[in-house]
Structure 1
Amino acid sequence: MKKIFVAIILSFFLSSAAWAISLPDAKAQKLVGETPSGYLEAVSGSPSADVKALVDDINSKRRDEYKKIADKNKTKIAAVEALAGSKAIEKTPAGQYVKKGGNWVVK
């Protein structure tokens, strides 16, 4: 079980150096936030191409990791996503966006 949590936490920090903005920078600039679904979303309805590419890349890597965890533990991916989302929101530092009740709030 501890390995599952470690894998989930590590997946939050996966980012690609190919994008012009890093995940920590995008979060600090309030461009993206964590959601209860376990995935990132752009806070703005019309993100820049760099932010959209970053979110798509991170979410793709997270989805792959969640699937591996779900398969290994013989559970549904939705359960892994929900747990990951809860943990991500819990670990989000003050001053960054999280989605609660369908709305963006600054933690």
Structure 2
Amino acid sequence: MKFKILVLFASLLLSFNALAISLQDAKAQGFVGEQTNGYLGLVKETSDAKTLVSSINAKRKSHYQKIAKKNNISLNDVAKLAAEKAIKATKKGQYIQNTRGKWIKK
């Protein structure tokens, strides 16, 4: 009986991991892209991509806030600088947002 429960538990863990998508996979598949505001955006909406974007953006905001406070500058300024770096680092064929808010492939 314990073995069956262990197998069921392991199967559930594997299925949850299979549903989750990594940032690199999401970018490569065209689900998400870098926005001009320093945050990740949804190019094509899927539940996994939406969850990923929320999680990544919360972490980014927290990191930006620490940098802003440490350097006595605005959160917005930090986010804009981060956007420039993220857009430059985006691989060819992945999505970035232009200044008009349109998604384009780099």
TM-score range, shorter chain: 0.7 to 0.9
Structure 1 runs of 4+ aligned residues shifted over 2 Å read none
Look at both structures and tell me which one has the larger radius of gyration over its CA atoms.
2
Higher relative contact order (CA 8 A, sep 6+): 1
Instruction: Name the % identity.
Output: 49
Contact 1:19–1:54 (Cα < 8 Å) also in 2: no
CA RMSD of superposed structures (Å)? 1.5
TM-score, normalised by the number of residues in structure 1: 0.79
List runs of 5+ in structure 2 lacking aligned partners: 1-16
The 5 A counterparts of 1:1-107 are: 20-44=20-44, 47-100=45-98, 101-107=100-106
List runs of 5+ in structure 1 lacking aligned partners: 1-16
Higher helix share: 2
- Describe the SS at the equivalent of 1:105: strand
Distance, in Å, in 2 between the alignment partners of 1:102 and 1:66 is: 22
TM-score, normalised by the number of residues in structure 2: 0.80
What is the number of residues matched between the two proteins? Answer: 89
